[in-house]
Structure formats: C-alpha cells, structure tokens
Structure 1
Amino acid sequence: MDDFRNLSSEQNAALVIFTFLQADCINTEYCKELISLGKEYDPNCNGPRIDTLDDGDLETDGHLPTSLTIALDGVLPSVQLHRNPEEEAALQRVAEELREIAAQLEENVVAQATQNLRRNILITPCNHWRYYLNREVERVMSWVVGLEHLPYERVIVALTLTLVKGVCEQTPQLLKNLFYTALQYITSSSRAR
C-alpha cells in the first residue's frame, strides 16, 4: 500500500506537514509558532498537556505518540486527529520519507531557493505566496541532479516542505500563513495527479 496517496485529504496532508515541520525544531520562536498553529488548526485541541517521552529527549525522527504532538520544554499540545494508529503511523512514515528526500537535496540550492522565497513573500500579499512557492519548487527541480530514482511527486512535496520550513525558521511569524499555503498547494497537487 502506498501511504503517499493519502495526501489529497487535507487532514492527512496537515499531519504530514506538521510532522515534517516539527522535526529538529531548535528555534524557540519557530517552535512557539508551531504550537500556536497546532492549537489553532484543530478546534478540538484541549490545550497543552504535560507528557514525557520514554527517553526524555525530543523525538526528531518522525516517530510520535498516537497523536500529533509538538514538543517544547516538556509541554506538548496535542492535536487530536481522531484516526486509527495504523493510519497515523502510515502518515508519519510519509513525513519521515519526505525528510529523507529533503536531506538528499543540495544544501546550497535549497538555501538559495529559501532566500528567494522569503524575499518574495515578505514583499507580496499572502494570495501570491502559492505562486512564489510553486516557482521556487519548479526552479530547484530543474537544478536537482541525482534524485531521478525517487518518485517525482514525493520530491516535489519534500522540496516544498523544505522551503517552507527554511523560510519559517528564519521568519517564524510567517508559519501560519505559509503552512496554509503549503497545505493548499500540496492537496491541490495531489488531487491533480
């Protein structure tokens, strides 16, 4: 079964995006924005809860408890997406695979694309962000060599999320709007396939 096909659902895509964006969260302001977005995205979120991970460390490999969590200083807001554990695990595997693909992208190419995207979205209204996101993804895809063995749509999603995370780590206050832009971009692209 291909877990990746589930990204056409907005909730599934949102879970994958959250899981991808929270990995290696070291910027405090960025982490706070993730927590705020998590609480806002799911109206059923009951606010922060205290939870401890088995080893006391922040999980950064995509393996999360049964609900989407964003960890910061031991406070874990829970975004309950009310799905079965197998489905959540499948979506988390997708996020992990996307992070592995993103790690294969050349750092200097992604860094330049991130700077271009950030510069463009800082000077334009939100309704144009999807255009700039698409433009940078297409431009990087034309430069990337060595990922031909990977499925094209996965590389596109991994690159999209890498650019979004890069911009949001530099400018955390853009997270909410850029998250929704990426969510719309990914779900519309998945439906078009």
Structure 2
Amino acid sequence: MDALGEQKAALVVLAFLQADCKSPGYRKELNALGEDFQLTRNIDLGVPARDAPGDGDLETDGHIASCITGALGDIQPSVELQWPRNHNEAENLQQIARGLRDIADQFERNVVAEATGNLRRNISVSPSEEWKDHLTWEVQRVMRRGVGLEHLPQERVAVALALTLVRGVCEQTPRLLRSLFGAVLQYFYPAAE
C-alpha cells in the first residue's frame, strides 16, 4: 500500500472513531493520534493565535479579545480532520465514514457488546502484535453468526464491525487506541505488514 492510500484509510478510520466521542480520555487519545498522523489541525480557540491581540486588548469592533477567546475555549472539537483539498475526494471519504457509521449504528443495537467484550478480553492477555489476529477472528465470528445486514456489501459490513469493536474497546480503555489503530490499518491492508 502506498503512503497516500494509508493516509486516506487512516483519515476514514479516524473520522469514524471521532464521531459521537463522549469520553474525554478517548477524545484526548484520538486528537493525539490525529496529530501524529498529521490528519488534524489544531483549532483550539482557547489559545490565542500568534496574530491575535494579547489578553485584554481592545478589538477594532470594541470587544475585549480575552472575553471572546475565553468564552469559546471549551467548544469541541479542538482539532479537525484535514480532508483532501479536492472537494469531491473529501466528500467521498466523508461519505464512506458516514456509511460505515450508519452500519455501525445497526450493529450497536445487535451484537457489539458481546463482541467488544470478547475482543477486550483477548487483547488484554496478548501482546499487541497479536491484536490484529484477535480483531480479525472476532469480526469473522460475528459475520459467520450473521448480523442481519445481508442486504449491504459484506466487505463494508466487516469494516464497520471492526471499527465498531475498536471504538467500543477504546472508549473503555483509551490507552489501547494507538495499538488498535495500527491493527486496524493492518486489517485493511494485510499485505502492508
């Protein structure tokens, strides 16, 4: 797999994992991971930009700068994904992530709690080099069992299930995100190992 393909896959995975993120620890790990892969840019409004006036300076419109930045500082997200500049390509990647989230929502109502628990138990007693294998096994087990989504492309169903399981584990144990993120990229591109 080329670097551009891995970057796009990482962007779709990160977009999936960021959606509806409620856990502060998980969000922090996602933001750090996005920065490491250079897929996000900091838009933290709580930190004044280099060109912004200092605290308490009067803006040309009569407002005090520190009041504005202070009031906006807790708005989430503090980072945003850096989508490709080509609007059509960015929209296609966003559509893939949205489609995977829709499939994942259907999973959440059906089989995810059990499969997430199985994956969490298996990776807790295994070295991280084996996590991709545990993820693959759990996805295959659930797919064999049937998930009631036979009307959808099964490859996408498997990807959505894998991402849902990773999100479920990482929401409960955020420190596992980096290793599981790597396992997911290997899962998508096994030849890249």
Provide TM-score, normalisation by structure 2: 0.75
Q: State the AA in 1 paired with 2:104.
A: A
Distance 1:175 1:83 in 2: 27
Provide TM-score, normalisation by structure 1: 0.75
Secondary structure of the residue that 1:105 maps to in structure 2?
A: helix
Q: State the AA in 2 paired with 1:176.
A: R
Q: Sequence identity of aligned pairs in percent? A: 51
1:50 has 2:44 as partner? yes
Q: 2:189 aligns with which of 169, 187, 190?
A: 187
1:89 has 2:116 as partner? no
Distance 1:144 1:180 in 2: 27
1:149 has 2:143 as partner? no
Q: State the AA in 2 paired with 1:49.
A: I
Deviation per residue, 1:124-155 (Å, 9 max, x gap):
11100011000100011112242111001000
Number of equivalenced pairs: 162
1:34 has 2:30 as partner? yes
Q: State the AA in 1 paired with 2:33.
A: L
Q: State the AA in 2 paired with 1:165.
A: R
1:12 has 2:8 as partner? yes
Distance 2:44 2:29 in 1: 18
Distance 2:155 2:173 in 1: 27
Root mean square deviation, CA, Å: 2.4
Unaligned runs of 5+ in 2: 46-73
Shift of 1:77: 2.5
Secondary structure of the residue that 2:157 maps to in structure 1?
A: helix
Secondary structure of the residue that 2:152 maps to in structure 1?
A: coil
Instruction: Determine which structure has greater relative contact order: mean sequence separation of CA pairs < 8 Å that are 6+ residues apart, divided by chain length.
Output: 1
Distance 1:75 1:90 in 2: 22
Structure 2 match to 1:131: 133
Q: State the AA in 1 paired with 2:5.
A: S
Answer whether contact 1:118 1:167 (CA < 8 A) is retained. Answer: yes
Query: 4+ residue stretches of structure 1 with deviation over 6 A?
Result: none
